[in-house]
Amino acid sequence: MSFLGLDLGTSGLKALLTDAGGRIIGQAAHAYPVTHPQDGWAEQDPAAWIAALHRAVADLRAAHPAFSDLRGIGVSGQMHGATLLDSAGAVLRPCILWNDTRSHVQAATLDADPPFRRISGNIVFPGFTAPKLLWLRAQEPEVFARVARVLLPAAYLNFYLTGDPVGDMSDASGTAWFDLAARQWSDDLLTRSGMRAEQMPRLVEGCAPAGQLRRALARDWGLRQPVTVAGGAGDNAAAACGLGLMDEGAGSVSLGSSGVVMVARDGCTPSPGTGVHSFCHALPGRWVQMGVMLAATDNLNWLARLLSLSPQVLIAELGADIRPPGPVRYLPYLAGERTPHNAPHLRAGFTGIGARTTRPDMTRAVLEGVCFGLRDNLEALRTCGAAPRALYATGGGARSEHWLAVLATVLNLPVLLPEDAGHGAALGAARLAEIAATGARPASVITAPTASRDVQPNTALVPEFDRAYRAFRAAARAAAETPLRP
């Protein structure tokens, strides 16, 4: 048997084919564009997702005979996007994506209504789905009047694969229409935002069967046996499945363009006031909580561009060993911040620069600032009761041993670098497909990866980094409380 994991990302679709033992047989990827009709807008044509899917399947079929033994498909999707269908199932307009901020006024309106935080367990951020529909009702009323179904990107791909509009609980958690504790749509929140339950997809657990692959697709893809399509997951829950984050306290830290500290939870303990994102896991009776930084490695990339050097050169100048924090401090807020400040006006900046400040001093401050921001995320998660004992590291920044050493010391936690970390959400989706198709126990499939490196905190430097973190936290809070001047 083989299983197909589809990661429907913002910049492209990745397809991963695995065998019954979870080993990777092959992969394919195809890109598609994001359009920006106006400043702050981000849209995508769902037809581009379908075209990328067919190209990826064609690649896998041509290269891997095991594709013909396909038994299950799982979809991981970029969260929060609004894919709008009419009563015939046709797409009404381009999908409004997670990073689109046009509905910030509508988001603030919903967030000020107490049931939204109480029931959904989250702040209503502008990127969430519900405020997008309020914007649509005000700005495109003729389109809003024709909306028969609102599907998240992963649910739309499920709809294409099965003919049934069906999604999963993890993805639905990011809409602001979902009852997080009850794991179902909230009639109250839907009514408060002018929507109806029949406009929402049917929901199943991410590892449960959502339906069967349509016969026409199975025929076109050369498949003769039934293929189960799993409920799937939002990208973060799918990534958690790929990393084996299933039991209470299992966690990861992503050092990508943005930064995420994610922890698996056995119970529902939302704390929206901290800026922590609380979502259902793709597994029954489990949740995931995340602290989110809007810019992580983007900060180093910005400095590198400014200095006309590569990030690798800047890090190499620091040498092999980490040093105590110096007088230069950097706030890593190039595009505002989510956790813990929920402050879109926050901006980045250096302090403590003097005549003797060197380029390595500035690079070191940037790396430390990002790590301090991730420590803010970890502390916010701890207020929710999360207590990770180690974190798997993913993302481009995790390729730097120096940065990982700083991170482990700032967090005072071991940081583990998993083998094959790049497969993340696609691997998680393939694992969900295997569980849905075979009925396997989740614990037998959602397993932790082998760690290629185990980076321990530098215990001698932990107290000095703790002091620097407290100073950073005070400066960040003061900046978050200061309005941005035009």
Only one residue has tokens 């797409």, namely 91
For residue 481, give every residue at least 6 positions away whose Cβ sits within 8 Å of its Cβ, in sequence order, or none: none
* Contact yes or no for 35/29 (Cβ under 8 A): no
Q: Please name every residue paired with 185 in a beta bridge, in sequence order, or none if there are none.
A: 178
Handedness of CA 389, 392, 255, 464 (dihedral sign): positive
The answer, yes or no, to whether the previous bond of 325 is cis (omega within 30 of 0) is no
**91 burial via Cβ count (<10 Å: 0-12, 13-18, 19+):** middle
For residue 38, give every residue at least 6 positions away whose Cβ sits within 8 Å of its Cβ, in sequence order, or none: 102
What tokens does 116 get? Answer: 């939204």
The C-alpha atoms of residue 34 and residue 45 are separated, in whole angstroms, by 8
Question: Could you tell me the end-to-end alpha-carbon distance of the chain, in angstroms, rounded to an integer?
Answer: 59
DSSP 29-83: EEE---B-SSTT--EE-HHHHHHHHHHHHHHHHHH-GGGGGEEEEEEEE-SS-BE
DSSP 139-173: H-HHHHTT--EEE-HHHHHHHHHHSS-EEEHHHHT
Based on the residue annotation, tell me whether 235 is a catalytic residue of this protein: yes
Q: Which of 171, 235, 361, 376 is catalytic?
A: 235
Task: 54-57: list long-range contacts, CB under 8 Å, 24+ apart.
Answer: 55/28, 55/30, 56/6, 56/13, 56/14, 56/15, 56/28, 56/29, 56/30, 57/15, 57/28, 57/221
Coil vs helix vs strand at 131: helix
Report, as residue numbers or ranges, the catalytic residues: 235
